[in-house]
Amino acid sequence: MDCQALDMLLAESLQHRQAVYAVVVVMGTSEHGSVDPLSKVLGLRRKYQKLGLSFLIHADAAWGGYFTSMFVPNPASSGLESHLDDPALFLNPYTENELCHLRIADSVTVDPHKSGYTPFPAGALCYRDGRLRFMITWKSPVTGSVEADTMEMGVYGLEGRYLRDITYVQRTSALNFRHSKPGAAPLAAWLGHEVIGLHSGGYGFLLGQSVFTSTRVSHVFLAPIPMRLSVLSQDVRTLGNYVAGSP
């Protein structure tokens, strides 16, 4: 995101008294892991709020949301670990700063089926103020069923549709709601959080390893060809010894 261009657009909106509903920032693109400057967007909102213009800030952290677990202390830590064990050691300082500002966004999307290592189609839409969910009216062909009038996200931001059945269960007249999405996906996300943990010793550790590995691979491919082949052949020999069970 070009914040200078955004500043100009906001200035034009203020000049023409045109309302701005929201600004969307991407916190980790699926292709390249690029992160928008959320902290600067928050600064722009503070600037324009003083001038009479405000807007919501939505953070699309479908891919990058789980990386914030790298900053949460491990509750099982003894305090004697080396700083080299910090999963955020190889994380870009800019990225770390922007991810730390996620808590200030008005709404955040997170996809456990991406960096949360859970089955598709688990997904979450989180709000700082729960009343914001009543403003969801968007219909999209990528959510829910392809049947007519069943593609609504609903007021609670849940993907899919609800079918209301009036049932009477054990002397009660409660309404029974069935969801068209499978319950296994959110259950898998919950179980992963409970077992692995949303901290530096759980998901943070796993994602820290992925950051280290991707950093190493990128440096290998940026190296001169002879050095690149040497490093890759060494990695292959190491992998072969590991698979064979050699020390």
CB-based contact 28:94 (threshold 8 Å):
no
pLDDT, one tens digit per residue, over 32-77 is 889 999 999 999 999 999 999 999 999 999 999 999 999 999 998 8
Length of the chain: 247
Contacts of 93 (CB under 8 A, 6+ apart): none
Q: Angle, nearest 10°, between helix axes 38-49 and 93-100? A: 50
CB-based contact 207:115 (threshold 8 Å):
yes
CA distance 155 to 161: 11
The pLDDT of residue 151: 44
Q: Kindly state the tokens that stand for 7.
A: 């500043």
Residue 228 pLDDT grade (very low, low, confident, very high; cuts 50, 70, 90): low
Q: Kindly state the tokens that stand for 247.
A: 């020390």
pLDDT, one tens digit per residue, over 109-158 is 999 989 998 887 788 888 888 888 777 665 555 444 444 444 444 444 44
The pLDDT of residue 99: 95
CB-based contact 208:71 (threshold 8 Å):
no
Q: Kindly state the tokens that stand for 169.
A: 């269960």
Q: Which helix (H) or strand (E) holds 59?
A: strand 56-60
